[in-house]
Structures are given as structure tokens and as C-alpha cells.
Amino acid sequence: MKSEVVITDNELPQDVIEAIQQGQKIEAIKRLRAATGIGLANAKVLVDRASQTLGPKKPIPNFADQPTGVSSLAKMLGLILILVAAWYYYQG
């Protein structure tokens, strides 16, 4: 009878943690399976959980960082013109 390995996302080997910190989830899953012998689904769940806290942080897009200029202004004015024309069309 094969004994089950019980491991939590707080008990991951250091090489698995390093792979997670580098954003390499697939490599982390491979390393975890090689080190512990657990199944693919369990390894994926553990790596996904650990990557929420240990993984690289994705920057939140900021509206102020969006490019501005003549082209974006022209697109905005074109959209407004289309909306006004549609409003006049359906009003009359």
C-alpha cells in the first residue's frame, strides 16, 4: 500500500518557491512533483495557492498611464459624433 504525502502551500521546497517567485508555475509544478511524488492536480492546486502570495505582482493598470494625444482625442470625438448623430436620428 502506497502512503500518501501530505504537504501544504506553506511547506514547499525552496526550489519550488524560487520557481514561483520567478513566475514559472509549470516548472514549480514539475519540481514539486519530483520532490514529493504527489499528483499533477494536487501539485497544481498547491502552486496556484502559493503563487497568490509568493508570485510576481502584476501591476494594476492606471488610467493616467494611458497614452494621450491627437489620435485618442480624434477617436473620442468621432465616438461622440456618432452617438449624437444616432440620438438625432432616433429622436426625429
8-51 residue pLDDT tens: 767 899 999 999 999 999 999 999 999 999 999 999 999 999 99
41 within domain boundaries: yes
Residue 56 DSSP label: P
Instruction: Give the integer Cα–Cα distance in Å for 26 and 22.
Output: 11
Q: Does 89 have pLDDT greater than 50?
A: yes
2 within domain boundaries: no
- Sign for the pseudo-dihedral over CA of 80, 82, 85, 91: negative
46 within domain boundaries: yes
Q: Does 6 have pLDDT greater than 50?
A: yes
73 within domain boundaries: yes
Instruction: Give the integer Cα–Cα distance in Å for 50 and 32.
Output: 12
The number of domains in the chain is 1
Nearest to 32, CA basis, from 19, 21, 43, 20: 43
22 within domain boundaries: yes
CA 85 to chain centre: 40
Is residue 57 very low, low, confident or very high in pLDDT (cuts 50, 70, 90)? Answer: confident
Q: Does 78 have pLDDT greater than 80?
A: yes
8 within domain boundaries: no
Q: Domain range for residue 27?
A: 14-58+67-91
59-74 residue pLDDT tens: 777 766 666 677 778 8
Could you tell me which residue, 92 or 82, shows the higher pLDDT? 82
Q: What percent of the chain has pLDDT over 70?
A: 86
Are 22 and 56 in contact by the 8 Å Cβ rule? The answer is yes
